Chains A and B, each alone.
Chain A
Amino acid sequence: MRQLIGLIPLIPLLSSVCLMLLGSRLPRLWIGLLGVGSVGLAALLTGLTAVDFLANPEPFQLTLWVWMQVGNFAPGVAFYFDGLTLVMMSVITGVGFLIHLFSTEFMEEDKSYARYFAYLNMFVAAMLILVMADNLLLLYLGWEGVGVCSYLLVGFWYQNSANGQAARKAFIVTRIGDTAMALGLFLLFSELGTLNIQALGVAANETWQVGDKLPLIACLLLLAGAVGKSAQLPLHTWLPDAMAGPTPVSALIHAATMVTAGVYLIARTHELYLLAPIAMIAVALVGLTTSLMAAFTALTQRDIKRILAYSTISQIGYMFLALGVGAWSAGVFHLMTHAFFKALLFLGSGAIIHCLHHEHDIFKMGGLRTRMPVTFWSFMIGSAALAALPMTSGFFSKDQILLQAYQVDGIGPWLWLGGLLGALLTAIYSFRLVFVVFFGKANTEPDRDTGWRMALPLSLLCALALFGGWIMLPVAEVFPVASGLHPAHWVEYVSIAVPVVGVVIAYLVFYSGQLPVDGLLNRPSMQSLQRFWHSGWGLDALYDRLFVRPYYALAALLKGEPVDAVYGLIVAINQTLNGWLAEGQSGQMRRYLISMVFGLIVVLAILLGVF
């Protein structure tokens, strides 16, 4: 059974290759069957492996072959399987399967049906390689693979140049982080002599002391890679633009799986981070700042997908906060529950967009509650989980994070307070979305409700979002046990109450209008603050000024090829001389003779010593 895990990434990969080669010739039904079936099969295999693993929870390693051998550096194409891998694989194949199924309806009218599934399957394969890799080099292969697929899928509708722009932005911004991560890998290899993750943990503990400088640098470099991939400050700007892709893609790549790769990376290398407390604090602060920034921004957005994108950034910020405070399993738990409810929300928004003819502005929707009941209930459940209302899946994971953040020495209560503020904002903006879109006056008429291929994934995800909190993660072996201390009860009560308060505020402001905020919002200072939040804290404009425009200016300068001009001068001189000499080639034999005689005279004169 365990030998079969090698097949799990292989199946989507083969399907992807088939679709790329034969896609244009297959009928649509076959494309759908191949695309969905391959991921379904991978999910089935994952399930079987999970059953086997849970019965006998012993991590194991499967080496397929040695990738390359250079001296003592011999990374294998090898998979490592433990509880964390199982969680990630279940999320990827399970949620991925549901999203594939959803896509068959969402994309049914698209011309490039096969291309879409080819990319999506390739993404699943790359993501599986990423989480299953037993060494950091193979992980990096998957890491770059998902980056490429993200690029391809964000720019899927490439006929619109804005989408291509967004795809390039996503690719280039994450590339910054990837470069830092590659440097981190180089450092780790040169210092510890291995890239095998398990061996790395052992070697690091033997070589380094807690608080050494080298693990700090390595961890910060890895953090930079994670920040780029997971859209955290300051490299988060690509994610809102990445919403240019099809909505199921946003659900799969930019909410459930790829953007959480950074969280996975840090969780996977937690033994290194334990040696660098400063890096852990940096992780926590990055997460908290990002989550607050993104929550404020989500509050002011109008585009349904951008709201969800900023919400994703904010929730990943929570995961980083969890990792930073050492709540590894809580972070991974939140990763899983977030995958459920955010995929649900994205698919719900996809259903709305699909039925409203690609309308994205939430203020042009409204009153969809009765006309799209399935979508309404999925959104309701998804938002409840996102807002961490009690007994939903989000509640369990977020509650754990906040409690463990509170217990950190020194800055713990402050982290907790920041997290609470974020939770409040999350509740407000998520229910703002619900009230604006589904209640109130109808502005657009949907032509239909969702079909079964959309409704089924939505319902299943609803169940997961509701009850996912009761899943016990099999990661006890992977991570060190959190401190058994439990903070005072009031801390827990406050954590539970804050989201409820947020929902009430949203109800009062956006539904019943009993809390008049228009007067407050219309003040100039509030207006400018709103604009500031809306623009994502002005970071896009700042980067544009700092990096993009100087780069364009440089490119424009180099476009004229100033260095080439020097060589061009040589060419021009030669061409001119050539022109003159060609003039001399008159084809008249007498002229040649005369010049020959002239030359003869000169040579003779030189020989005679006249000159």
Chain B
Amino acid sequence: MDGLNIPLSHILLVSSLLFAVGMLGLMMRRNIIFILMSLEVMLNSTALAFVAAGAHWGQPDGQIVFMLILSVAAAEVAVGLGLVLQIQRRFKSLDMDNANRMQG
């Protein structure tokens, strides 16, 4: 484990790319399952950035924030998938464009 190290900026680059792709999916997809997946990708990319930063300083804090993000993601998915089931039952479809009753 010596010699050339991985530059931090490259890891952050990967993290940003993952974030952008996740956001693209979020904006693009109409299926709520894919929307939830996009959210997971975005959370994961953020987690990557935190862990990388923690490694950069040689501190454990980055990994702790990663674990917090993990628990947020777990809770979010649990509630989100519950909503998916309800939406499927009510609208007989996963298309979020159908769930537009709150329009002004």
Asked whether B97 lies within 8 Å of A583 as measured between CB atoms, the reply is no
Distance (whole angstroms) from the CB of A575 to the closest CB of chain B: 13
- Knowing A590-B30, A590-B96, A590-B97, the reply to whether A585 touches B23 (Cβ < 8 A) is no
Asked whether A587 lies within 8 Å of B102 as measured between CB atoms, the reply is yes
- In the complex, which of the residues A581, A582, A589 contacts B96, with contact meaning CB atoms closer than 8 Å? A589
**How many Å lie between the Cα of A139 and that of B99 in the bound state?**
75
- B32: nearest chain-A partner, CB-CB: A589
**Quick check: is B5 within 8 A (CB to CB) of the other chain?**
no
User: What sequence of 0s and 1s flags, for each residue 34-76 of chain B, a beta carbon within 8 Å of any chain A beta carbon?
Assistant: 0100000000000000000000000000000000000000000
Asked whether B104 lies within 8 Å of A588 as measured between CB atoms, the reply is no
- In the complex, which of the residues A583, A589, A590, A594 contacts B104, with contact meaning CB atoms closer than 8 Å? A583
User: What sequence of 0s and 1s flags, for each residue 582-602 of chain A, a beta carbon within 8 Å of any chain B beta carbon?
Assistant: 111111111001100100000
- In the complex, which of the residues A581, A583, A586 contacts B100, with contact meaning CB atoms closer than 8 Å? A586
**How many Å lie between the Cα of A590 and that of B99 in the bound state?**
11
Distance (whole angstroms) from the CB of A607 to the closest CB of chain B: 16
Asked whether B27 lies within 8 Å of A590 as measured between CB atoms, the reply is yes
**How many Å lie between the Cα of A587 and that of B103 in the bound state?**
4
- In the complex, which of the residues B26, B99, B102, B104 contacts A593, with contact meaning CB atoms closer than 8 Å? B26
**Quick check: is B89 within 8 A (CB to CB) of the other chain?**
no
**Quick check: is B90 within 8 A (CB to CB) of the other chain?**
no
**How many Å lie between the Cα of A588 and that of B96 in the bound state?**
7
Asked whether A588 lies within 8 Å of B27 as measured between CB atoms, the reply is no
Chain A residues, CB < 8 A from B23 = 597
Asked whether A587 lies within 8 Å of B27 as measured between CB atoms, the reply is no
Asked whether A587 lies within 8 Å of B30 as measured between CB atoms, the reply is no
- B96: nearest chain-A partner, CB-CB: A589
**How many Å lie between the Cα of A586 and that of B96 in the bound state?**
12
Asked whether A589 lies within 8 Å of B27 as measured between CB atoms, the reply is no
Asked whether A585 lies within 8 Å of B26 as measured between CB atoms, the reply is no
Chain A residues, CB < 8 A from B30 = 590
Chain B residues, CB < 8 A from A588 = 96-97, 100, 103
Chain A residues, CB < 8 A from B102 = 585, 587
User: What sequence of 0s and 1s flags, for each residue 81-101 of chain B, a beta carbon within 8 Å of any chain A beta carbon?
Assistant: 000000000000000110111
Distance (whole angstroms) from the CB of B88 to the closest CB of chain A: 16
- In the complex, which of the residues B35, B97, B104 contacts A585, with contact meaning CB atoms closer than 8 Å? B104
- A579: nearest chain-B partner, CB-CB: B104
Chain B residues, CB < 8 A from A590 = 27, 30, 96-97
Chain A residues, CB < 8 A from B27 = 590, 593-594, 597
- Knowing A590-B30, A593-B26, A593-B27, the reply to whether A582 touches B104 (Cβ < 8 A) is yes
Chain B residues, CB < 8 A from A589 = 35, 96-97, 99
Chain B residues, CB < 8 A from A582 = 104
Distance (whole angstroms) from the CB of B36 to the closest CB of chain A: 12
**How many Å lie between the Cα of A582 and that of B104 in the bound state?**
5
User: What sequence of 0s and 1s flags, for each residue 559-596 of chain A, a beta carbon within 8 Å of any chain B beta carbon?
Assistant: 00000000000000000000001111111111001100
Asked whether B97 lies within 8 Å of A581 as measured between CB atoms, the reply is no
Distance (whole angstroms) from the CB of B97 to the closest CB of chain A: 5
Chain A residues, CB < 8 A from B97 = 588-590
User: Which of A248-282 touch B at CB < 8 Å?
Assistant: none
Distance (whole angstroms) from the CB of A583 to the closest CB of chain B: 7
Asked whether A587 lies within 8 Å of B26 as measured between CB atoms, the reply is no
Distance (whole angstroms) from the CB of B56 to the closest CB of chain A: 22
- In the complex, which of the residues A581, A586, A593, A594 contacts B103, with contact meaning CB atoms closer than 8 Å? A586
- A584: nearest chain-B partner, CB-CB: B104
Asked whether A581 lies within 8 Å of B104 as measured between CB atoms, the reply is yes
Distance (whole angstroms) from the CB of B18 to the closest CB of chain A: 16
Chain B residues, CB < 8 A from A597 = 23, 27
User: Which of B1-41 touch A at CB < 8 Å?
Assistant: 23, 26-27, 30, 35
Chain B residues, CB < 8 A from A593 = 26-27
Asked whether A585 lies within 8 Å of B96 as measured between CB atoms, the reply is no
**How many Å lie between the Cα of A590 and that of B83 in the bound state?**
17
**How many Å lie between the Cα of A589 and that of B30 in the bound state?**
9
- B23: nearest chain-A partner, CB-CB: A597
Task: Spell out B's residues near A (CB within 8 Å).
Answer: 23, 26-27, 30, 35, 96-97, 99-104
Q: In the complex, given contacts A585-B103, A588-B97, A597-B23, what are 16 additional A-B residue pairs having Cβ atoms less than 8 angstroms apart? A: A583-B104, A585-B102, A586-B100, A586-B103, A587-B99, A587-B100, A587-B103, A588-B100, A589-B96, A589-B99, A590-B27, A590-B96, A590-B97, A593-B26, A594-B27, A597-B27
Task: Spell out A's residues near B (CB within 8 Å).
Answer: 581-590, 593-594, 597
Sample (24) of A-B pairs whose CB atoms are under 8 Å apart: A582-B104, A583-B104, A584-B104, A585-B104, A586-B103, A586-B104, A587-B99, A587-B100, A587-B101, A587-B102, A587-B103, A587-B104, A588-B100, A588-B103, A589-B96, A589-B97, A589-B99, A590-B30, A590-B96, A593-B26, A593-B27, A594-B27, A597-B23, A597-B27
